[in-house]
């Protein structure tokens, strides 16, 4: 396979050079054709070089990465986001299973992200995660955002509003959906607790994460139980009972 054509969009000159040098030394599948320092010059570089992958800083002067992406009619390249901030953007990236690396750049993380994109190019489904990310950014309602659920043989893309509950299964998680389907997902419940806590989900128990929209009844007890819309019953631990009841006040 020919080398991946790349563009770096990063407002800090030292960071641009560091990333460029790392790519030249450790990622021989990548050829950097252009570098830019803002949304405006980034758009110009992307249109000029038609890259396979863009290394894109999230926060820049006079705009951010999402402003740049929304300015494009079509996104025909993969993106590796680069950021110094563990903020709202990281949650959006994780929800969409988009690629990102944190500053200061870890070489192993950089190589891993590039390797994944090389594999996706071989499989012929490049840019998919970016399209999901942009759908999520444009979505006005929290529960109508999409989530990418990784599985052993690939991944499923579902609407957050279609998840009734999730249940821990060792290092995996079982998802139960409104259409009656279930999925075994190759990440822990803790990962999804952190990811979905802003989406009307609550951890009722160390093994259970539920969508508040689908609770139909609370049953008293030391911790108690909740009945879900699919007639399943989920335990509530004594330590999480107060938080659950507070959410219904």
List, for residues 40-64, the tens digit of each pLDDT value.
Answer: 999 999 999 999 999 999 888 888 8
What's the pLDDT score for residue 13? 95
Q: Please list, in sequence order, all residues whose beta carbon lies within 8 angstroms of the beta carbon of residue 16, skipping any fewer than 6 positions away.
A: 8, 10, 35, 37
SS3 percent helix, strand, coil of the chain, rounded to 5, is: 35, 35, 30
How many Å apart are CA 200 and CA 45, to the nearest integer?
40
CATH topology of domain 141-247: OB fold (Dihydrolipoamide Acetyltransferase, E2P) (2.40.50)
How many Å apart are CA 35 and CA 17, to the nearest integer?
9
What's the pLDDT score for residue 85? 73
pLDDT tens-place string over residues 81-126: 998 876 666 777 888 878 889 889 999 999 999 998 888 777 766 5
Question: CATH code for 4-137?
Answer: 3.40.50.2300
> Could you give the strand order of the β-sheet that contains 99-102, starting from the edge strand earlier in sequence?
30-36, 4-9, 53-57, 78-83, 99-102
Parse the chain into domains and list their residue ranges: 4-137, 141-247
Average pLDDT over residues 211-237: 96
Instruction: Evaluate whether 4-137 and 141-247 have a shared fold.
Output: no
What's the pLDDT score for residue 216? 97
* pTM for this predicted structure: 0.73
């Amino acid at each position: 396979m020919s080398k991946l054509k790349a563009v770096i969009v990063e407002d800090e000159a030292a960071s641009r050079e560091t990333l460029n040098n790392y790519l030249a030394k450790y990622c021989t599948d990548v050829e950097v054709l252009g570098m830019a320092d803002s949304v405006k010059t980034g758009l110009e570089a992307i249109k000029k070089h038609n890259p396979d992958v863009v290394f894109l800083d999230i926060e820049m002067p006079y705009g951010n990465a999402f402003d740049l992406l929304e300015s494009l009619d079509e996104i025909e390249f993969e993106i590796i986001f680069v950021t110094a901030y563990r903020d709202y953007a990281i949650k959006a990236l994780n929800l969409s299973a988009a690629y990102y690396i944190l500053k200061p750049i870890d070489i192993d993380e950089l190589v891993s992200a590039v390797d994944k994109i090389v594999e996706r190019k071989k499989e012929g489904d490049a840019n998919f995660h970016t399209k999901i990310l942009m759908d999520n950014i444009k979505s006005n309602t929290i529960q109508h955002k999409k989530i990418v659920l990784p599985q052993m043989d690939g991944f499923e893309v579902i609407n957050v509003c279609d998840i009734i509950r999730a249940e821990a299964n060792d290092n995996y998680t079982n998802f139960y959906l409104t259409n009656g389907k279930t999925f075994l997902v190759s990440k822990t419940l803790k990962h999804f607790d952190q990811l979905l806590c802003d989406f009307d989900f609550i951890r009722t128990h160390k093994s259970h994460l539920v969508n508040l929209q689908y609770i139909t009844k609370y049953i008293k007890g030391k911790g108690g139980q909740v009945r879900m819309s699919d007639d399943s019953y989920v335990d509530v631990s004594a330590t999480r009972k107060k938080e659950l009841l507070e959410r219904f006040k």
